[in-house]
Amino acid sequence: MIVETGEKVHVIERRQFAEDLRRHFVGQVTRCTESAIRVRGHAWVHDHVKGDYIRKPDKRERVMHLGDRLVINILPADVNLDELKYLDIPRAGLVVTDEKGFTLDINEFKARG
């Protein structure tokens, strides 16, 4: 199995159209099969007015079918998922960080040039 139960993940749902909502999910894998994972955590959605990602307050469980529309980043085991935040770093782009040593570059928003 490529993703294991207990692993922490950051999932990006690829958009099909430019106007589609930008959705991410951060959580811990509670079950997995060869074709799907069940993850408990928080959804993050892009607020196009403010330009920020907003974490939905309620925890939820989602079943995600593995495929081309998902980008799954495995997070270090010691990262506290409740401390993660999105920051827009000048000249570097958007990152997810706990501001304690962990930083994940979100490539689709990296500054160009």
Does 17 reside within a domain?
yes
Alpha carbon separation from 73 to 96, 102, 107 (Å, rounded) = 11, 13, 12
Asked if residue 79 belongs to a domain, the reply is yes
Q: Please report, for the chain, how many H helices and E strands are present, in that order.
A: 0, 9
Asked if residue 75 has pLDDT above 50, the reply is: yes
Q: Which of 20-24, 43-47, 87-91 has the highest mean pLDDT?
A: 43-47
pLDDT at 112: 45
Q: What is the DSSP letter of 107?
A: G
Q: What is the mean pLDDT of the chain?
A: 87
pLDDT category of residue 111 using cuts at 50, 70 and 90: very low
Q: pLDDT, tens digit, for every residue of 26-64?
A: 999 999 999 999 999 999 998 878 778 889 999 999 999
Would the pTM count as exceeding 0.95?
A: no
Q: Which residues of 75-109 are buried (b: 16+ CB within 10 A; e: fewer)?
A: beeebebeebebeeeeeebbbbbbeeebebebeee
Residue range of the domain that includes 74: 8-109
What's the rounded mean pLDDT across residues 69-77?
93
Q: Note whether residue 1 is domain-resident.
A: no
Please check whether residue 3 lies inside any domain of the structure: no
Tokens of 73: 């980043």
Tell me the pLDDT band of 89, cut-offs 50, 70 and 90.
Answer: confident
Average pLDDT (14-24) is 76
Q: For the chain, how many structural domains are there in total?
A: 1
